[in-house]
Structure 1
Amino acid sequence: MAETGTGLECIVKLGGSAVTDKNTLETPRLDAIRAAADIISQVRGRYIVVHGAGSFGHFQAREHGVVWGYRDKETAAEVQTVKLGFCRTRQSVTKLLHLITEEFVGRGIPAVGVSPLSSWVTDDASVVKADTDNIRDMLLEGFVPVMHGDAVLDRRRGCTILSGDTIIKHLCGVFHPPRVVFLTDVAGIYDRPPEQPAGAQLIPEIQVDQDGKLHVSIATSSQAHDVTGGIALKLKSAVDIVTESNGRTCVMVCGIQSGTAVRACVEGQLPKGTGTIVQLNMCKHPDEVT
């Protein structure tokens, strides 16, 4: 059931690759976390922050097959391996949550860490239960909920991985914010992986039809240990947010340490050529500036 009256202005996603070194186990990018804190400290109004796990959790989840759960395992030892992997994944992701909320609170932001495990449940990786009442109450009381990708219980698999992007998509269906801002380690969405030597080009705008069809060609890739699907799933989440809101919610993607990030989060503006906006085809974006 849709929530009303919260006045949620924006959901901010801190990408796992932006706030951690995704190739090195449990290595935060403290400069990026501080940049995020600086951005959020300038925000006025009601916001939700969701961060990816990056190198906190992905390695453990991949090693133990947490995303696929344990219900199909043939031996007790195999089940135990997945369950211990579940626990180790959670230990890791909550370390990063603590680092981020500690930095936020130190900047005077009333940030409250919220782990999905306690109140979110999936069925074959689809969200079937999510307690958003406590999120609503935090927003109304002036707190900033900080959520994260998490290992959660799953009715069919036993357990699985709930990505931060899936969390955001669900929250958008409940709170209907006018925009979602993805803060990443690159300037936006490119026509191919930006690390490729061929010369990737930033895509300033992605038009999406109501059926989810894109009007651009994008080649994607995902690192081997990324259990949440990499940029392909993130792009799908952005498309779903735009289409399911009938264009009422737009998605902005920009670099976490750019001046554009401040404008996107604080002012709701994305100057042309400084990031990527995903919007419904034939809908003029209200915050576009030249």
Structure 2
Amino acid sequence: MILIKLGGSIITNKEKPLSPRISTIDKISKQLKKIHEPMILVHGGGSFGHYWSVKYDMHTKPDRYSLHGVSIVKNSMIQLDKIILDLLIKNKLNPYCLPPTDFMDGNRPITKKIKEISKIAQSGLVPVSYGDALWYGAKKSYILSGDKIMSILAKILRPRLSIFVLNVDGLYSDFKTKRLVHEMDGDQVSIEDIPMDVTGGMKRKVEEATRISKMGLDVFFVNGNKPERITNAIKGKFEGTMFRGA
């Protein structure tokens, strides 16, 4: 099984609120159509959910955030998810919308439900989940990032490969010269030096990718602006940053 995360920065214009990158999503969908093994997709919020979570000061820690903010974040994620589902269908894939509430109880994964996702993927459908604002209980809510969903699913489903699709070539050891880290072994880049946004940005991706690799699973960071790199990575021809399964 292949687990793929479409980052918010590749599927939307993060600088412009509520602006999907339709052409990019379409090109990525055409590449996903070429994958002939079960896969699960997760996507971020970008200029949809991420934009509103910043505006309403909502974070990954459960707290009593604005109820109106929760509503708006959830609604915007449904809007973005619908755009992605429509483009997947246009490209003859069979997406199966899977809101995180289908497999989360507060901030705890429901193992039985996650194992069902594997069966859905093996049937030929493509489960599609996404980062979201979730109800926690005790009048609290929180932001569950798509990156966190990746490590939650990987822990239980143990995919052959986890791929984070970014709007850059991978992880840079030097942001000015754009010197690429080809293989992450934990000592080339300090996680503290990586820029962070409300749901973690690149820092959260590195943390979750490291967590997955420590489960003995390989993780790749690839550039979604060159969508053929997704299918190349699956075939073993890899360009980007690799977190080798420990």
TM-score (normalizing by structure 1): 0.78
- C-alpha distance in 1, partners of 2:141/2:117? 23
User: Paired residue for 2:187, among 215, 230, 236?
Assistant: 215
Alignment of 1:1-290 (within 5 A): 9-67=1-59, 68-71=61-64, 82-123=66-107, 127-129=108-110, 131-155=113-137, 158-193=140-175, 198-207=176-185, 214-218=186-190, 219-222=193-196, 226-243=197-214, 245=215, 247=216, 249-258=217-226, 259-265=228-234, 267-270=235-238, 274-280=239-245
For 1:12, what is the secondary structure of its paired residue?
strand
- Does the CA contact (< 8 Å) of 1:70 and 1:83 recur in 2? no
Contact 1:15–1:54 at 8 Å: present in 2 too?
Answer: yes
**Deviation of 1:205 (Å):** 0.8
Q: CA deviation at 1:59?
A: 1.8
Question: Partner letter of residue 227 of structure 1?
Answer: V
Residues 246-266 of structure 1, C-alpha deviations (whole Å, 9 max, x = no match): x2x10111111323222114x
Kept after mapping to 2: 8 A contact 1:122/1:129: no
Structure 2 unaligned blocks of 5 or more: none
Cα distance in 2, alignment partners of residues 53 and 115 from structure 1 = 13
Identity of aligned residues (%): 25
Counterpart contact for 2:219–2:245, Cα < 8 Å: no
What's the counterpart of residue 210 of structure 1? none
What residue identity is the alignment partner of 2:181? I
Equivalent-residue separation in structure 2 for 1:155 and 1:45 (angstroms): 38
Task: Check the 8 A contact 2:109/2:152 in 1, yes or no.
Answer: no
Cα pair 2:183 2:241 within 8 Å, conserved: yes
Structure whose alpha-carbon radius of gyration is higher: 1
On the 8 A contact 1:97/1:148 being kept in 2, the answer is yes
Let me know the Cα RMSD of the aligned residues: 1.9
Q: 1:89 to 1:128 in 2, by over 3 A?
A: same
Structure 1 CA distance, aligned partners of 2:172 and 2:83?
30
The CA deviation at 1:39 is 1.2
Residue pair 1:117, 1:151 contacting (<8 A) in 2 also:
no
- Whether contact under 8 Å (2:97, 2:128) holds in the other structure is yes
CA 1:157/1:221 → structure 2, altered by over 3 Å: closer, same or farther? Answer: farther
Q: What SS class does the counterpart of residue 177 from structure 1 fall into? A: coil
Counterpart residue identity of residue 20, structure 1:
T
The 2-side partners of 1:203 and 1:276 are apart by 6
Confirm or deny: 8 A CA contact 1:179 1:268 kept in the other structure. no
For residue 145 of structure 1, report the CA deviation from its aligned partner.
Answer: 0.3
Distance 1:136 1:262, change over 3 A: closer
- 1:92 counterpart letter in structure 2: S
Cα gap change, 1:277 to 1:157, in 2 (>3 Å): farther
Count the aligned residue pairs: 241
Q: CA deviation at 1:70?
A: 4.5
Structure 1 CA distance for aligned equivalents of residues 26 and 109 of structure 2: 34
Indicate if the aligned counterparts of 1:56 and 1:96 stay in contact, CA closer than 8 A: yes
